[in-house]
């Protein structure tokens, strides 16, 4: 992940909502600056694609993106301002983008290390395999989970996927 992506993430509103498709949605900050009424239906979407950033507004149709090796463009700067970034933050984004344009830029240097910590499974967790064994008594909510895992190219019944009915783990 690039420092540009790391930095840009900090500008997103705290209540932005991520979905399994990879889009994070929040009230689009662009619309009211472009002659549209302010968005209240979380129609702004952002995706961090590899090392880059893709933004799309499904309300006023504003879109922009940034990829490593390219400058932090005017539209990205505007988007940052609309997300109430400080001018210093924007300078940093421009500067970090510039660094990705140089021949010495190696994406892997920026790869952040993910450290997994063991977390106890939420209450009532069973593997998808075990849920399926309930047959007709299986909670209906398990069905979209099975589909999701299957559509991602994994075998939902290999015992590695868990689902729990406890709240807070619904996605």
Residues that bind Zn ion (CB under 5 A): 28, 30-31, 57, 59-60, 62
CB of 26 to Zn ion, least distance (A): 11
Q: Which is nearer to Zn ion, 62 or 131 (CB)?
A: 62
Q: Which is nearer to Zn ion, 76 or 128 (CB)?
A: 76
CB of 85 to Zn ion, least distance (A): 17
Q: Which is nearer to Zn ion, 42 or 129 (CB)?
A: 42
Q: Which is nearer to Zn ion, 59 or 97 (CB)?
A: 59
CB of 18 to Zn ion, least distance (A): 19
CB of 66 to Zn ion, least distance (A): 17
Token pair of 94 as six digits: 């421009």
């Amino acid at each position: 992940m690039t420092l540009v992506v790391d930095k840009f993430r900090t500008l997103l509103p705290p209540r932005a909502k991520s979905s399994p498709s990879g889009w994070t949605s929040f009230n689009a900050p662009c619309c009211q600056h472009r002659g549209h009424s302010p968005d209240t239906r979380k129609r702004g979407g952002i995706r961090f694609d590899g090392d880059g950033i893709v933004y799309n507004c499904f309300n006023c149709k504003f879109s922009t993106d940034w990829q490593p090796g390219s400058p932090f463009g005017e539209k990205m700067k505007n988007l940052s301002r609309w997300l109430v970034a400080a001018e210093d933050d924007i300078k940093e984004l421009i500067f970090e983008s510039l660094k990705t344009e140089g021949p010495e830029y190696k994406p892997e240097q920026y790869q952040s290390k993910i450290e997994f910590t063991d977390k106890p499974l939420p209450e009532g967790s069973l593997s998808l395999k075990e849920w399926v064994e309930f047959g007709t008594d299986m909670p209906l909510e398990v069905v979209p989970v099975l589909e999701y895992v299957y559509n991602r190219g994994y075998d939902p019944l290999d015992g590695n996927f868990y689902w729990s009915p406890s709240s807070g783990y619904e996605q």
